[in-house]
Amino acid sequence: MALMGRMMSEPLLISALLKHAERHAGETEIVSKRVEGDVHRSNWREVAQRSRQAAQAFARLGCEAGDRVGTLAWNGYRHLEIYYGASGSGLVCHTINPRLFPEQIVWIANDAEDRVLCFDATFLPLIEKLAPLMKTVRHFVMMTSRAHMPASTAIPNLLCFDDLLAAETGDYAWPALDENAASSICYTSGTTGNPKGAVYSHRSTVLHAYAAALPDAMDCSSRDVVLPVVPMFHVNAWGLPYSAAIVGCKLVMPGPHLDGKSLYELFESEQVSFSAGVPTVWLGLLNHVKANDLKFSSFKRTVIGGAACPPAMMKTLQDDYGIEVIHAWGMTEMSPLGTLSKLTTRQLGLPPEQQQRLLEKQGRAICGVDMAIIDDEGRSLPWDGQNSGNLVVRGHWVISQYFKNESSPLVSVDGEPGWFPTGDVATIDADGFMQITDRSKDVIKSGGEWISSIDLENIAMAHPAVNEAAVIAAKHPKWDERPLLVVVLKPGASVTRDELLAFYDGRIAKWQIPDDVVFVAEIPHTATGKVQKLKLRDQFLAHRLPTA
Amino acid sequence: MALMGRMMSEPLLISALLKHAERHAGETEIVSKRVEGDVHRSNWREVAQRSRQAAQAFARLGCEAGDRVGTLAWNGYRHLEIYYGASGSGLVCHTINPRLFPEQIVWIANDAEDRVLCFDATFLPLIEKLAPLMKTVRHFVMMTSRAHMPASTAIPNLLCFDDLLAAETGDYAWPALDENAASSICYTSGTTGNPKGAVYSHRSTVLHAYAAALPDAMDCSSRDVVLPVVPMFHVNAWGLPYSAAIVGCKLVMPGPHLDGKSLYELFESEQVSFSAGVPTVWLGLLNHVKANDLKFSSFKRTVIGGAACPPAMMKTLQDDYGIEVIHAWGMTEMSPLGTLSKLTTRQLGLPPEQQQRLLEKQGRAICGVDMAIIDDEGRSLPWDGQNSGNLVVRGHWVISQYFKNESSPLVSVDGEPGWFPTGDVATIDADGFMQITDRSKDVIKSGGEWISSIDLENIAMAHPAVNEAAVIAAKHPKWDERPLLVVVLKPGASVTRDELLAFYDGRIAKWQIPDDVVFVAEIPHTATGKVQKLKLRDQFLAHRLPTA
């Protein structure tokens, strides 16, 4: 008979992280640039106190265990207090992406059955329009102080967040919840169909937060000043609000001010050492820094994910600004971190170009996540850096089902069930370094061979005249599909179609070079900053490729 | 009704750590200095393969879920394979401290009801004597190859570890155990009474391993070369065999060769970056390095725990050799890590002397461990760095009970039950930095006031002539107890009683200065390297303090 351990039995709870931060980093600052434009200074002790007040306030509003508290908000201390106040007290924090179309926002709030909706002042006009359509919301709470409340509004009984908190004592003991209870919900904004909800648990969130802070992952310590550029409505800002509490570091919240100039000023004034975000944000920041011949005085490393970081951007950050770039990959269904690219001792002995090529991959799985690549029949493929297949994952912080959807999205690998199909196509090398070669639906199928759109985009992005590039499949009478390069030029730059195509010579196999180039003023993005390839494909459906 | 998360439900298992290391760091080396004196090179892939073979071998020997596999062994790859092979397959790895008295070893093996006992060749003569007394052991396994097996032995049917493994395929799937099942047992070698067993679970071990690798704790990454000087029979080498698998780093195992010269050579030849051990080991290493005017070429940081690190040793390591010293505190009952001393951003802005004083404390609790200091009535005392009280802890990797002992050792804090009393007396400051002021039984009670023996020892250790110092309570007719300083001089050094006592002037309050000094050739240590104060007290029971 199995012998059981004789250890204390404590659930893994989000509230424990906040308690730890309050006790061991009580005076460590939480700095927020507010919607109003001013800078607000708080610390972990105050955030903990106000989170307990928020828990009491939600209870007073009639919220019961498992009820959803929706948020429509930027990164800021009040959002953080709702994260902990709601989840910690047994409610479910449901972050909604305000960049979605209004009808999607309504659909998501109704699907999640949000009981309370908290929103930043920015979104008052939007919520005034949408409130009547949100059938389950009983209380609308504006995340501001009394002084900033509107004199009149179309929202009946609009509540003021700071007032709600002021009415409570904060004398509140976090409940001992089931660690598998839901803590938060985040909807994926799929490019097709309705959004789907990922429902995280306290256990999955806490385990993810520990693993994400490890030296081979985000490497967060109490000596860091962390600025999450990635929004708190994007998979919980990649878990940083939780990892930051575990290590008790200073947090700098940018609010809605994500332009290059605002970010740079915040980086410098608060001496930010570490940040995380999608490539497009760094594009804006780098443009500002370059244009004004500025340097960073404290910024040391950044995790870039959400989309592949163009190698040219990685090189600029590393070589011109001395910033370590940690390439990461994950998804909403994975809480989100899956892999990060950090070199091992052995790899640090390789020639610089080989090291660079490894850093451009998405990296190794964090301990807690398993990966496999499989063919269309579910057979696992070798880890040789050559074979590419459908990437599947499993682990402590991977979903098993979507919210309100009893069908299982999971697949089998070599007959073993329980793997989540990511929809990405990837290679994995012998050291476990994974590289996304494409989204399975973005691969260009040319005469039976697969061409990675990402490879072609990265090459175009390395051209000095190119600001952004996307490669899509265009119909071809002979080859079925051929790559078409869509390009946005840098302000003031110019380049011809033929010069751009010649730029591919020697950088990739001849048969993979795009057949044509289209210059556009803008490439369409999803609400989460990803290129909308489906939209691009629709747009250029009628594009006639030149015949050789 | 609470909403449940929709996450994959995977148990936290030790086998998962090894699988991760095999997949992502398969070629990363495990280097072991063997009992025979030669150096053996393996890697995580081979260790994983041989661990599966070990699991098969234990099953073939008739071991069933929950059975204990005892080890009497130094740090080495075979010991690592038993760690994973036994625990991973549902058995319980029971590490026995070979430095204990033989009768204690027998008592412990019988109390744990070890089914198999694996031992290094070093211990053959010992086991030949003890085998008949070990009532529950069915198989004795010598951890060596066929070539090193004895021609004849008093142990009936002595098995050879390498032979057992060679008979197995390694084609073995780790079972999906209950994460709360026992994974390993470690007995505390108390200074009084019989040893008591701490029974760790898979869950507690895995959570401890994640937290221990965090940047604010041991800061382990794949770029590290880790040499655990702390033995694998001391609380699982402070969890390093598990943390190392999580991060996939190179491990260097010193075997029995813990003298300064052997260690130094291994540090240099394997380019060790990180090590961990008790202060006495560093004493030997530093003596060797100093005597031969050597430098370290790769050694960057060390965790020192098990006993307070004398500030003078900390200063030498930091200032003379550029090695970061991370002071740590824990105990067998805590898996063992409780606190580590790493400065926060704010503290790094303090004057150097204040930083040094913080580093000399035992530090902040890792997230996952809560602390409190309480008075004798169980009331919590303020965290002001002044009030000292009985230190109590709780958390994911703290025991709730000893093995085979149904009575609970736990106490209440302010009426809240569930805290483990550490037996240490400590202060905690406003930043959560804990400092052990004494073992509760070592405090010197002088006229109603408490004097910390540790403070007095640290001052003595700073004197250039002193090699080791211990302070004990001596009976005093007026004050009840007064401090008596017991000193071992450095080879060739000399100092008088009065010179030593004068050394305290200005370093501590006058009334706390020891009343007398005794010079000895050696101070008695426990098997785990701690000063046996009880023995010292017995020895100097009759010592007559000079009357002022």
Sort out which chain B residues have CB atoms less than 8 A from A219's CB and list them.
215, 221
State the smallest CA–CA distance between residue B433 and chain A in angstroms: 8
Residue A410 pLDDT level (bands cut at 50, 70, 90): very high
Mark yes or no for CB contact A396/B8 under 8 Å: yes
* For range B507-534, the mean pLDDT: 87
A442 vs A88, more confident? A88
Of A5, A12, A210, nearest to B200 by CB-CB distance is A5
* For range B170-192, the mean pLDDT: 90
Mark yes or no for CB contact A8/B398 under 8 Å: yes
Please report how the helices A240-247 and A202-212 are oriented relative to each other, as an axis angle in degrees rounded to 10.
Answer: 70
* For range A513-521, the mean pLDDT: 94
pLDDT at B443: 78
Tell me which of A27-31, A232-236, A487-491, A535-539 is least confident.
A535-539
Instruction: List, for residues B322-336, the tens digit of each pLDDT value.
Output: 999 999 999 999 999
- Rounded distance, CA A345 to CA B266, Å? 17
Is the pLDDT score of A303 beyond 90?
yes
Task: Please provide the average confidence, as pLDDT, over all residues in chain B.
Answer: 93
Which residues have CB under 8 Å from B168's CB, separation 6+?
A: B52, B53, B54, B56, B57, B60
- Rounded distance, CA B510 to CA A429, Å? 67
pLDDT at A298: 97
Active site residues of B: 188, 333, 445, 450
Residue B455 pLDDT level (bands cut at 50, 70, 90): confident
Instruction: List, for residues A255-285, the tens digit of each pLDDT value.
Output: 999 999 999 999 999 999 999 998 888 988 9
Interfacial A residues in 177-236 facing B (CB < 8 Å): 177-178, 180-183, 198-204, 207, 210-211, 213-216, 219-225
Mark yes or no for CB contact B12/A431 under 8 Å: no
Enter the tokens of residue B230.
Answer: 């702390």
Percent of chain A having pLDDT more than 90? 80
State the smallest CA–CA distance between residue B529 and chain A in angstroms: 26
Residue with tokens 């390069």: A485
pLDDT at B528: 65
DSSP reduced 3-state for A292: coil
Q: What are residue A302's DSSP bridge partners?
A: A275, A325
Mark yes or no for CB contact A214/B12 under 8 Å: no
Residue A290 pLDDT level (bands cut at 50, 70, 90): very high
Mark yes or no for CB contact A6/B198 under 8 Å: yes
* For range A362-379, the mean pLDDT: 95
Residue A528 pLDDT level (bands cut at 50, 70, 90): low
pLDDT at A283: 86
pLDDT at A541: 80
Q: Which of A22, A179, A270, A333 is catalytic?
A: A333
Is the pLDDT score of A189 beyond 80?
no
Task: Please provide the average confidence, as pLDDT, over all residues in chain A.
Answer: 93
C-beta atoms surrounding B17 within 10 Å = 27
B440 vs B69, more confident? B69
Mark yes or no for CB contact B7/A399 under 8 Å: yes
- Rounded distance, CA B53 to CA B50, Å? 5
pLDDT at A448: 67
Q: Which of A445, A496, A499, A511 is catalytic?
A: A445
Interfacial A residues in 115-154 facing B (CB < 8 Å): none
* DSSP assignments along A92-139, one per residue: EEEE--TTS-HHHHHHHHHHHTEEEEEE-GGGHHHHHHHGGG-SS--E
Catalytic status, residue A510: no
Enter the tokens of residue A293.
Answer: 């011949």
pLDDT at B122: 94
Instruction: List, for residues B147-167, the tens digit of each pLDDT value.
Output: 999 999 999 999 999 999 999
Sort out which chain B residues have CB atoms less than 8 A from A396's CB and list them.
7-8, 10, 12
pLDDT at B449: 72
- Judge whether A22 is closer than 8 Å to chain B, CB to CB: no
pLDDT at A193: 66
Sort out which chain B residues have CB atoms less than 8 A from A198's CB and list them.
6
pLDDT at A435: 94
* For range B67-87, the mean pLDDT: 98
Catalytic status, residue A333: yes
- Judge whether A70 is closer than 8 Å to chain B, CB to CB: no
pLDDT at B406: 85
State the smallest CA–CA distance between residue B334 and chain A in angstroms: 9
Instruction: List, for residues B526-535, the tens digit of each pLDDT value.
Output: 776 778 888 8
Is the pLDDT score of A457 beyond 60?
yes
What is the value of ipTM here, to two decimals? 0.88
Instruction: List, for residues B347-367, the tens digit of each pLDDT value.
Output: 989 999 999 999 999 999 999
* For range A7-35, the mean pLDDT: 96
Nearest to A212 by CA among A189, A228, A231, A199: A228
Of B27, B182, B222, nearest to A216 by CB-CB distance is B222
A176 sits in the region (left: phi over 0; alpha: psi -120 to 50; else beta) called beta
pLDDT at B380: 97
- Rounded distance, CA A135 to CA A141, Å? 16
The one-letter code for the residue type at B480 is D
Q: Are the C-beta atoms of B437 and B455 separated by less than 8 Å? A: yes
C-beta atoms surrounding A354 within 10 Å = 12
Q: What are residue A117's DSSP bridge partners?
A: A70, A140
pLDDT at A548: 56
- Judge whether A10 is closer than 8 Å to chain B, CB to CB: yes
Which residues have CB under 8 Å from B244's CB, separation 6+?
A: B21, B220, B226, B251
Mark yes or no for CB contact B7/A204 under 8 Å: yes
Is the pLDDT score of B96 beyond 90?
yes
CA A363 to chain centre: 17
Instruction: List, for residues A306-347, the tens digit of each pLDDT value.
Output: 877 888 899 999 999 999 999 999 999 999 999 999 998 889
pLDDT at B447: 75
Measured CA distances, B430 to A30, B394, B424, B509 (Å): 18, 19, 19, 24
pLDDT at A192: 54
- Judge whether B15 is closer than 8 Å to chain A, CB to CB: no
A156 vs A529, more confident? A156
A446 vs A412, more confident? A412
Is the pLDDT score of A231 beyond 80?
yes
- Among chain A residues, the shortest Cα distance to B334 is held by A7
pLDDT at A20: 96
- Rounded distance, CA B237 to CA B38, Å? 22
Helix (H) or strand (E) holding A445: strand A444-446
State the smallest CA–CA distance between residue A320 and chain B in angstroms: 24
pLDDT at B101: 83
Measured CA distances, A108 to A105, A197, A200, B329 (Å): 5, 8, 16, 49
The count of CB pairs under 8 A between chains A and B is: 267
- Among chain A residues, the shortest Cα distance to B244 is held by A367
Residue B189 pLDDT level (bands cut at 50, 70, 90): low
Residue B97 pLDDT level (bands cut at 50, 70, 90): very high
pLDDT at A420: 97
* For range A380-392, the mean pLDDT: 94
Of B24, B199, B344, nearest to A364 by CB-CB distance is B24
Of A65, A403, A431, nearest to B6 by CB-CB distance is A403
Percent of chain A having pLDDT more than 70? 98
Is the pLDDT score of B98 beyond 60?
yes
State the smallest CA–CA distance between residue A409 and chain B in angstroms: 12
Instruction: List, for residues B229-278, the tens digit of each pLDDT value.
Output: 999 999 999 999 999 999 999 999 999 999 999 999 999 999 999 999 98
B312 vs B130, more confident? B130
Mark yes or no for CB contact B181/A224 under 8 Å: no
Q: Are the C-beta atoms of B540 and B518 separated by less than 8 Å? A: yes
Measured CA distances, A141 to A69, A121, A123, A163, A424 (Å): 10, 10, 11, 10, 39
Enter the tokens of residue A263.
Answer: 């970010």
pLDDT at A533: 86
- Among chain A residues, the shortest Cα distance to B2 is held by A66
Instruction: List, for residues A167-181, the tens digit of each pLDDT value.
Output: 999 999 999 999 999
Is the pLDDT score of B548 beyond 90?
no
Instruction: List, for residues B6-52, the tens digit of each pLDDT value.
Output: 999 999 999 999 999 999 999 999 999 999 889 999 999 999 999 99
Catalytic status, residue A107: no
Mark yes or no for CB contact B92/A3 under 8 Å: yes
Enter the tokens of residue B327.
Answer: 């002071």
Sort out which chain B residues have CB atoms less than 8 A from A398's CB and list them.
7-8
pLDDT at A502: 95
Report the residue of B341, B342, B344, B366 to disrupt the A interface, i.e. the one with the largest count of A CBs within 10 Å.
Answer: B344
- Judge whether A521 is closer than 8 Å to chain B, CB to CB: no
* For range A345-370, the mean pLDDT: 93
pLDDT at B530: 77
pLDDT at B193: 66
- Rounded distance, CA B216 to CA A502, Å? 50
DSSP reduced 3-state for A391: strand
What beta strand segments (E) does B134-222 contain?
A: 139-142, 159-160, 182-188, 196-201
For residue B94, how many C-alpha atoms fall within 13 Å in the half-sphere facing its CB?
A: 28
Sort out which chain A residues have CB atoms less than 8 A from B182's CB and list them.
2-6
pLDDT at A511: 86
Mark yes or no for CB contact A246/B214 under 8 Å: yes
- Judge whether B398 is closer than 8 Å to chain A, CB to CB: yes
Interfacial A residues in 243-262 facing B (CB < 8 Å): 245-250
- Among chain A residues, the shortest Cα distance to B402 is held by A6
Which residues have CB under 8 Å from A344's CB, separation 6+?
A: A431, B25, B28, B222, B223, B248, B249
* For range A147-173, the mean pLDDT: 97
Tell me which of B106-115, B300-309, B489-498 is least confident.
B300-309
pLDDT at A215: 97
Interfacial A residues in 149-178 facing B (CB < 8 Å): 177-178
